[in-house]
Amino acid sequence: MSASNYLLGRAEPGARHLENGNRSGQVLNSVMRVDISHNYKGLNYCRRISGSLKNRKPWGTNMVYKCFWSNATGTSWNSNFSLEPGMQDSQRTVPYSAGAAPDMSLDGTSQEEQLENSAVSSDLKVLGDRSLKLRSGSCYLPHPDKEKTGGEDAHFICVNEQAIGVADGVGGWADLGVDAGQYARELMSNSVNAILEEPKRSIDPARVLEKAYSGTKANGSSTACIIALTDQGIHAVNLGDSGFIVVRDGCTIFRSPVQQHDFNFTYQLENGNGSDLPSAAQVFTFPVSPGDVIIAGTDGLFDNLYTNEVTAVVVQAVRTGLGPQVTAQKIAALAHQRAQDKNRQTPFSTAAQDAGYRYYGGKLDDITVVVSYIAASSS
């Protein structure tokens, strides 16, 4: 998550002009910083990040569980334990007010959140369960200015537990000399620990998030999204502007709503008394079928690609027989390309214009994409 008013509060009423001509990130009253100054490095960017840092020691090496881990710099590991640090839609999403959010369901009454008809892991991770399993892959592209520190996103893929998660550290903490990526990484590590304590095939992501939040002591703040495949289907929790969509038969059948207090002021967890609480997160439960595809990501994805653009990549990937890892790479690469386009209308520019700002183009940021294919256990 790029530096913005997330840490400092909402935009000042007088600061309603995002300077399109200055792509170095300068915005009136320092309300937001946006940087679109780097050239797109292509699909091999994921692989280069992964290969260049294989000797970097993974975070949390005292844990030996069968999960997939890459640290915040995008390094891939084939060890038993892994925890991987590291869209808005063409339909406008209304920010949600503070307080506990209701549970959501595909067959519930919240139809406006159902969009019907509308890094890199070196090994494919197959998560087995009774009748269904997840086949998951991921790609993480840190902001070019944050490659050396690994960026501020974090994510994990838990193999046996059939769970994935993403988190986005709030970049505004950098103004105080704090690496928000450390908070996001610790939050995801604690989430994995909590998942391992959950009953098999009955993981409660909301309970997991509560435990992870309670145990995270690093400075900073972060969004969070945790998704688990259980005997009842998909069970997910989301707080902030990370999130996920579900694609079925070439159509987006669900998208998690964005939780914001104001434009570019996301819900976030923080160590201390000044943050939103896990109880404010939204909880989702719904059945899934073989062939469904889940795409989870941070706002670096959803600020730069509309839902229909993500779905189009998924449809083409499935049609040509690509696995989730390559699909995640392709989605992340397209989001990175859009982030550098100064002229294209993007979800972020649409939201900025709706909020009264003059802004065009994408938003350069850390980009995390986790793709999970729902498959029959026998396949």
- Residue 123 confidence (pLDDT) above 80: no
Classify 104 as helix, strand or coil. Answer: strand
Average pLDDT, the chain: 74
Given its phi and psi angles, is residue 117 left (phi above 0), alpha (psi -120 to 50 degrees) or beta?
Answer: left
71-112 per-position pLDDT tens digit: 333 333 222 223 333 333 333 222 222 233 444 444 333 333
pLDDT for position 173? 85
What does the DSSP assignment read for 277-345? -GGGSEEEEE---TT-EEEEE-HHHHTTS-HHHHHHHHHHHHHTT--HHHHHHHHHHHHHHHHT-SSS-
Q: How far apart are the C-alpha atoms of 264 and 354, rounded to whole Å? A: 12
Q: Give the count of beta carbons closer than 10 Å to the beta carbon of residue 186.
A: 25
Single out the residue of 282, 146, 173 nearest to residue 225, CA to CA. Answer: 282
228 contacts 205 by C-beta, under 8 angstroms:
yes
Residue type at 105 in one-letter notation: S
CATH tag for 28-376 (out of 3.40.50.150, 3.60.40.10, 3.40.50.970, 3.90.1150.10): 3.60.40.10
**Is the distance from CB of 12 to CB of 4 less than 8 angstroms?**
no
Residue 205 pLDDT: 98
Report the Cα–Cα distance between both ends of the chain, in Å, rounded. 37
Does position 156 have pLDDT exceeding 50, yes or no?
yes
Sorted by where each begins, the domain ranges of the chain are: 28-376
User: Once rounded to an integer, what is the mean pLDDT over residues 306-315?
Assistant: 98
What are the two backbone dihedrals, phi and then psi, of residue 144, each rounded to the nearest 5 degrees?
Answer: -55, -35
pLDDT digits (tens, 9 = 90+) for 170-194: 988 888 888 889 999 999 999 999 9
Residue 253 has pLDDT above 50, yes or no: yes
* Distances in whole angstroms, Cα of residue 255 to Cα of each of 89, 142, 364: 9, 24, 22
- Rg of the chain on CA atoms, in Å: 19
Instruction: Report H helices in the chain.
Output: 44-52, 180-196, 205-215, 299-302, 307-319, 324-339, 347-354
Question: DSSP character for 235?
Answer: E
Pick from 1-10, 291-300, 308-317: least confident: 1-10
pLDDT, tens only, 203-249:
999 999 999 999 999 999 999 999 999 988 999 999 999 999 999 99
pLDDT of residue 272: 81
pLDDT given for residue 2 in this prediction:
53
Q: Are 9 and 265 in contact (CB under 8 A)?
A: yes
CA distance 242 to 300: 9
Segment 357-361 shows an average pLDDT of: 95
Q: Tell me how far CA of residue 245 lies from CA of 55, 254, 283, in angstroms.
A: 34, 5, 14
pLDDT band at 379 (very low <50, low <70, confident <90, very high): low
| Reported confidence tier of residue 1, pLDDT bands at 50, 70, 90 | low
- Please state, for a pLDDT cut of 70, what percent of the chain lies above it: 65
Which of 25-29, 37-41, 308-312 has the highest average model confidence (pLDDT)? 308-312
C-alpha 262: how far from chain center = 19
pLDDT exceeds 50 at position 22:
no
The yes-or-no verdict on residue 62 having pLDDT over 50 is no
Q: 307-319 and 324-339 helices cross at what angle (nearest 10)?
A: 140
**Residue 70 confidence (pLDDT):** 45
Region 112-121: mean pLDDT is 34
